[in-house]
């Protein structure tokens, strides 16, 4: 077993391929243990500090439930409890909080905030969402894909929509696991060039393929996984109407899904805006795995906590 104790996970790229696979395998094991009623209170007496700048359903419930099932305790710190960088500096918050808890998770606006928390914290920091990456989501996604297909090599994953934080983490995970990842975005909304270049570098060792296109139909063609996300993320509300117009042809509907393999699954990190990025017919249809995917956040987060908490 690879030792991850004390390791922060700010980016998927903080993990080697072997570490990522280990987290997915542990997620699956912990899920199986939960289903058969086997206790795994391996974090008894440990405390998780949870920093939230953004609201959440899945992330908060998953982290709190994870710590409870692991025998530990979670403390919720909302936007008005800390006011990162306003009431107190991020450095001071990291130093104070890490002197009292065993692991910190942060759901923030700016990626630099979670980077700074990790820089100054004495305990591991887990990025539970920033404007640049969403590693906790993607590890749960990879668990869902493994449950469906048994592995990753040779799969095609099509992400349809904004080249955002979810797209970045999907690309990095896909590159490490040997997946053919195709991102279909409108011009001007493609993923970060820095992330694309890093994925190409990783892919040399894994035989993954990372591809950027502007045509959603080309991306979805013969895909094993079709994935989308909201067109306007939190903090982009002022752009919502303009984005609806620009992304209109990027909706995942039954016509687009018909281009994927008959065995393909549909994923969405949720919450979904039905009628915008996806139709309810697809989101609640027979190929949808979005609720299995949402539940898997719990199991992947437990794996991250088990492996990293000091």
Of these residues, 224, 269, 276, 299, which one is catalytic?
269
Tell me whether residue 6 is in a domain: no
Of these residues, 141, 229, 243, 276, which one is catalytic?
229
Containing structural domain, residue 279: 137-293
Are 111 and 148 in the same domain? no
Largest CA distance in the chain: 54
**Mean predicted lDDT score pLDDT of the chain:** 96
Residue 175: its pLDDT value, please?
Answer: 98
- Mean pLDDT over 276-303 rounds to 98
Question: pLDDT digit string (tens) for 4-51?
Answer: 999 999 999 999 999 999 999 999 999 999 999 999 999 999 999 999
Are 276 and 303 in the same domain? no
Of these residues, 58, 134, 198, 243, which one is catalytic?
134
Are 171 and 284 in the same domain? yes
Whether residue 85 is predicted with pLDDT greater than 80 in this model: the reply is no
Of these residues, 69, 137, 224, 299, which one is catalytic?
137
Q: Domain holding 188: CATH number?
A: 3.40.50.1370
Are 286 and 194 in the same domain? yes
Q: Is 268 a catalytic residue?
A: no
Q: How many domains does the chain have?
A: 2
Question: pLDDT digit string (tens) for 90-147?
Answer: 999 999 999 999 999 999 999 999 999 999 999 999 999 999 999 999 999 999 999 9
Q: Is 107 a catalytic residue?
A: yes
Of these residues, 58, 168, 268, 297, which one is catalytic?
297
Q: Is 162 a catalytic residue?
A: no
Question: pLDDT digit string (tens) for 178-232?
Answer: 999 999 999 999 999 999 999 999 999 999 999 999 999 999 999 999 999 999 8
Are 249 and 152 in the same domain? yes
Are 164 and 99 in the same domain? no
Give the global pTM.
Answer: 0.96
Residue 252: its pLDDT value, please?
Answer: 98
Of these residues, 60, 107, 180, 198, which one is catalytic?
107
Are 129 and 142 in the same domain? no
Q: Is 69 a catalytic residue?
A: no
Q: Is 229 a catalytic residue?
A: yes
Are 146 and 285 in the same domain? yes
Residue 80: its pLDDT value, please?
Answer: 84
Cβ contacts of 200-207, under 8 Å, gap ≥ 24: 200/175, 202/13, 202/172, 202/175, 202/176, 203/175, 205/17, 206/17, 206/175, 206/176, 206/177, 206/178, 207/153, 207/178
Residue 115: its pLDDT value, please?
Answer: 98
Are 108 and 178 in the same domain? no
Q: Is 137 a catalytic residue?
A: yes
Q: Among 148-152, 232-236, 252-256, 279-283, where is mean pLDDT lowest?
A: 232-236
Are 129 and 249 in the same domain? no
3-state helix, strand, coil in the chain (%, to 5): 45, 15, 40
Residue 234: its pLDDT value, please?
Answer: 66
Which residues neighbour 221 within 8 Å (Cβ) at sequence distance 6 or greater? 259, 260
**How many Å from the N-terminal Cα to the C-terminal Cα in the chain?**
16
Tell me whether residue 5 is in a domain: no
Nearest to 11 by CA among 143, 145, 173, 236: 173
Tell me whether residue 227 is in a domain: yes
């Amino acid at each position: 077993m690879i030792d991850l104790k004390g390791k922060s996970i700010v980016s998927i790229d903080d993990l080697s391929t072997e570490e990522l696979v280990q987290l997915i395998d542990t997620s699956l094991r912990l899920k199986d243990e939960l289903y058969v009623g086997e206790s795994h209170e391996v974090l008894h007496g440990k405390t998780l500090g949870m920093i939230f700048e953004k609201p959440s359903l899945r992330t908060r419930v998953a982290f709190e439930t994870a710590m409870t099932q692991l025998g530990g305790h979670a403390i919720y710190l909302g936007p008005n409890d800390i006011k990162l960088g306003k009431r107190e500096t991020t450095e001071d918050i990291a130093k104070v909080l890490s002197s009292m808890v065993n692991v910190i998770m942060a759901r923030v606006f700016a990626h630099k905030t979670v980077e700074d928390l990790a820089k100054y914290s004495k305990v591991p920091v887990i990025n539970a969402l920033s404007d640049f990456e969403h590693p906790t989501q993607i590890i749960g996604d990879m668990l869902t894909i493994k449950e469906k297909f048994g592995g990753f090599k040779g799969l095609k994953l099509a992400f349809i929509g904004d080249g955002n934080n979810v797209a970045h983490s999907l690309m990095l995970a896909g590159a490490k696991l040997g997946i053919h990842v195709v991102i279909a975005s409108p011009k001007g909304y493609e993923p970060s060039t820095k992330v694309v270049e890093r994925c190409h570098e990783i892919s040399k060792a894994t035989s993954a393929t990372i591809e950027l296109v502007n045509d959603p139909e080309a991306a979805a063609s013969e895909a094993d996984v079709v994935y989308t996300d909201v067109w306007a993320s939190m903090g982009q509300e002022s752009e919502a109407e303009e984005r609806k117009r620009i992304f209109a042809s990027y909706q995942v509907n039954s016509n687009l899904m018909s281009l994927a393999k008959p065995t393909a699954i549909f994923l969405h990190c949720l919450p979904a805006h039905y009628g915008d990025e996806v139709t309810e017919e697809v989101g609640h249809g027979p190929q949808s795995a979005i609720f299995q995917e949402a539940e898997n956040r719990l199991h992947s987060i437990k794996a991250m906590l088990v492996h990293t908490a000091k």
